[in-house]
Amino acid sequence: MKIISFNLFRFTLPLARPLTVKDAKLTERSGLVIELTDEYGYTGLGEASPLPNLSAEELTVVESQLLSLRYALKGTEMPENLEELSGGFARWLEQYDLAPSVRFGFETAVLSVIADNRQCPLRRLISDRSRDSISINGLLSGSPAEILDKAARLRGEGYKAAKLKVGQGPLHEDIQLTREVRKRIGDDVALRLDANRSWSVEDTLVFAREVNDCRIDYIEEPVHNYDMLTELSNKGGLPLPVALDESLRELTPEALAPLPNLKAIVLKPTLLGFERSMQFGRKATSMGITPVVSSAFETGLGLTAMAELAACLNTTDVPVGLDTLDWFTQDLLKRPLQIERGRLKLSESIVRFDEIRPELLQEVADD
């Protein structure tokens, strides 16, 4: 299969409310849409949208890399068996030293071309055990009153899991809010926490002891770095299950090691790439660790690809972190993804260009 057409489009979407990322407030989300076409007319789309202050790369770098990639790969053959996600993309693209968000967008577009050729959705291209719907982990954000109100609604709407950010204020407030959220969601909804490496070992232990009766599913990255987490976990002093997130950007899938209370890894494909996320997920599963796909506030296009990945990785119904579309006032997709009763039903085809709202795109011309 040969790449005949390689089109790029910029987009900027306003957010419904400011998004705080490492003390910076974002009011809009920008990125690029990649459209590939092969010699038979099969097409595929991908989204490359680094999240400011979280992604290492800036959008200008992403656009520059994609323009260089277009110049290098347009008219060339795609390697075979890329859908196996076993290192084919890494070998093909190694010389270009691509940023993670570029890899995610381009890999998604290529896989979608192959899926279009095979007349199947992306998940069935890469797995014969994929699910056709997935559970969504409800995201709790806003003021304490807004968080508690949404927690009660998630329970009423049938969600199986909820995720609460902690570590952004005084420790005693986090403890109190966690306990209140558990009361609101009841006993049947899993409660996940994300501390974003905010705490010292001492604060982490205080927090863990105070909420240990709240039946925490796991807490993501409570301490400042991976070495601290490894030491804390190996000493057996932390009574809560933990999950890795930021640490995955410092590790390779091969280096992923079991820790006594490591329950899950949180996969953000925009920060890792599609193939690398799958490799981390496979390694985790082989170790009895749960992979949980999560967004970095992508549009519906990127979220669709992540949902397809999640449907392949989790043969059991693991709730995933894709509850972010309500941060946008509008979406790239003409028909935005619909979460019903805490579940997302997946399409039987890939996303096509005529499903994108053209007025939100600006084509990137050749230099």
Instruction: Answer yes or no: are the C-beta atoms of 296 and 306 closer than 8 Å.
Output: no
pLDDT tens column, 114-130: 999 999 999 999 999 99
Which amino acid, one-letter code, is at 27?
A: T
At 205, list the tokens.
Answer: 């232990």
pLDDT tens column, 53-84: 999 999 999 999 999 999 999 999 999 999 99
**CATH 3.30.390.10, domain 3-125+354-363, yes or no:** yes
Please, what is the end-to-end C-alpha distance for the chain in angstroms? Answer: 26
Q: Within the chain, which residue ranges are assigned CATH 3.20.20.120?
A: 129-347
User: In this model, does residue 367 exceed pLDDT 70?
Assistant: no
β-pairing, 262-267 with 242-244? parallel
Q: Within the chain, which residue ranges are assigned CATH 3.30.390.10?
A: 3-125+354-363
DSSP state of 321: B
Q: What is the mean pLDDT of the chain?
A: 96
Whole-structure pTM value = 0.96
Please provide the size of the chain in residues. 367
pLDDT tens column, 228-275: 999 888 877 788 999 999 999 999 999 999 999 999 999 999 999 999
pLDDT tens column, 17-32: 999 898 789 999 999 9
The fraction of the chain above a pLDDT of 90, given in percent, is 93
Give the domain 129-347 fold.
TIM Barrel (3.20.20)
